[in-house]
A and B are shown apart, each in its own frame.
Chain A
Amino acid sequence: MVLQNLLSPPVLFFVLGMVAVLLRSDLEIPAPLPKLFSLYLLLVIGFKGGVELQHSGISQQVLLTIGAAVLMSLLVPLSSYWILRRRLDAFNAAALAAAYGSISAVTFITAESFLDTSQLPYDGFMVAALALMESPAIIVGLLLVRALAPRAGDGGEKTVGGWGSVLHEAFLNSSVLLLIGSLLIGLLSSAFSPAALAKMEPFSGGLFYGALSFFLLDMGIVAAQRLQDLLRAGIFLVGFALLAPLAHALVGLGISRLLGLPQGDALLFMVLCASASYIAVPAAMRMSIPQANPSLYLSSALGLTFPFNVVIGIPLYMALVQRLIPILP
């Protein structure tokens, strides 16, 4: 299964990007393109999720799963902060905790792509969980700084942005807005304009896998650049970036089993718990906790946790799912 994942085009392109940096190649993707592709991926994943959510409906299982996902995005920052505070100051610990409580949409999309290749079904409502897990961790990170930084003796001004701008950034940042907006558009289109879905198909279906592969090529380049920064940050952070996703994935596995999720959804739930944000959270942290060092929270989330999840984590979590989650009839 690891080999099947490793030898899939998205992961191979990701590795190619990393290799290009390590070999000091001049391979470079012009800046507007990764942004364009990331918006495209978010739009499509939201739209498809909305269509599937309309088909499956909103059941008790859906609400429980989404509720559990939001709860995890509140609890993970708390436990992460408690661990990180042993070596880092309150500002950096809170920013990192927020990053690990939030999610990586690209890891989620890669996991969906892995499930598609493995022909394992999954439900569209998991996209709603993805969208709703982005923001709570940002709020928890800020609350941690406001509540604990003075007692921790870090001094100085704690946060600069007022709560209005922080909440605006947490709930209306481009990735959350696009995901939720596309989900609603998919839901409404599927209900009231099903004929339009076929017209969207070349854009939302045929192009998707290639776009993901191309985007992951760029992410490989960026991840390898950040990895070099992370190695300079020390062994504690390297260990956290590798062990935290494993621990969070295991908790996710336990919750999936409790909720009775099917295998595909269980894998996605684990990936949501295990991944760390490097899109929504860094922007919010730069704005609201400027005292935190971006090279720490960006490098650990992007330089190590992201590659680990994409290359090793997803097949590893799937192996655990297959061992511990029964196949539903």
Chain B
Amino acid sequence: MKRLDLIIPELELERLRRVLRRAGVPGYSVIRHVTGYGAAGEVSEGLEVSGTGANAHVLVFCAPALLESLRVELRQLLGTYGGVAYVGDAEPL
């Protein structure tokens, strides 16, 4: 089992959801209003009003084979709109 952590602009959440659903991931969790600091500078909720404010943290647990099929599309998405993604091993409790 693999764990995929994605931090993306909240504005692109729907686009990411479509990619994940199309790939057939068994599920995902979304944490909104994620703030911090990154390549684009300070990420704050100050511009929530314009829909361009904070980031979202999306957490996916899936089989390694499924992750491989996601790689190309996710890299394209992150390359275009910004964001980061990391993969790690996960062990069910």
Report A's interface with B, CB cutoff 8 A: 31-32, 34-35, 38, 157, 160, 173-174, 218, 221-222, 225, 229, 278-279, 282-283, 286-287, 290, 294-295, 298
Which of chain B's residues have a CB closer than 8 A to the CB of A173? 51
Which of chain A's residues have a CB closer than 8 A to the CB of B51? 173-174, 279, 282-283
With A34-B48, A222-B49 known, 12 other A-B pairs at CB within 8 A are: A31-B45, A35-B49, A157-B80, A160-B81, A222-B47, A225-B46, A282-B50, A283-B11, A283-B50, A283-B52, A286-B81, A298-B47
Which of chain A's residues have a CB closer than 8 A to the CB of B52? 282-283, 286, 294, 298
Question: Count of chain B residues with Cβ under 8 Å from any Cβ of A?
Answer: 20
Report B's interface with A, CB cutoff 8 A: 9, 11-12, 33, 40-41, 44-54, 80-82
The 6 closest A-B pairs by CB, nearest first: A31-B45, A283-B51, A279-B50, A31-B48, A34-B49, A222-B46
Scoring A174, A287, A298 by chain B CB atoms within 10 A of each residue's CB, the highest score goes to: A287
Instruction: State A174–B54 Cα separation when bound (angstroms).
Output: 18
| Majority DSSP secondary structure for residues of A touching B | helix
Scoring B45, B46, B53, B80 by chain A CB atoms within 10 A of each residue's CB, the highest score goes to: B46
Q: Quote the shortest CB–CB distance from A187 to chain B (angstroms).
A: 26
Instruction: State A63–B9 Cα separation when bound (angstroms).
Output: 40
From B12, B40, B48, B80, A35 is in contact (CB under 8 Å) with B48
Instruction: State A33–B68 Cα separation when bound (angstroms).
Output: 41
23 interchain pairs (CB within 8 A)?
A31-B48, A31-B53, A31-B54, A32-B48, A157-B80, A160-B81, A218-B49, A222-B49, A225-B44, A225-B46, A279-B50, A282-B51, A283-B11, A283-B52, A286-B9, A286-B81, A287-B12, A290-B81, A294-B52, A295-B40, A295-B41, A298-B47, A298-B52
Which of chain A's residues have a CB closer than 8 A to the CB of B44? 225
Output the nearest chain A residue to B33 by Cβ-Cβ distance: A31
Instruction: State A104–B63 Cα separation when bound (angstroms).
Output: 47
Asked whether, in the complex, the Cβ of B80 is within 8 Å of the Cβ of A290, the reply is: yes
Which of chain A's residues have a CB closer than 8 A to the CB of B41? 229, 295
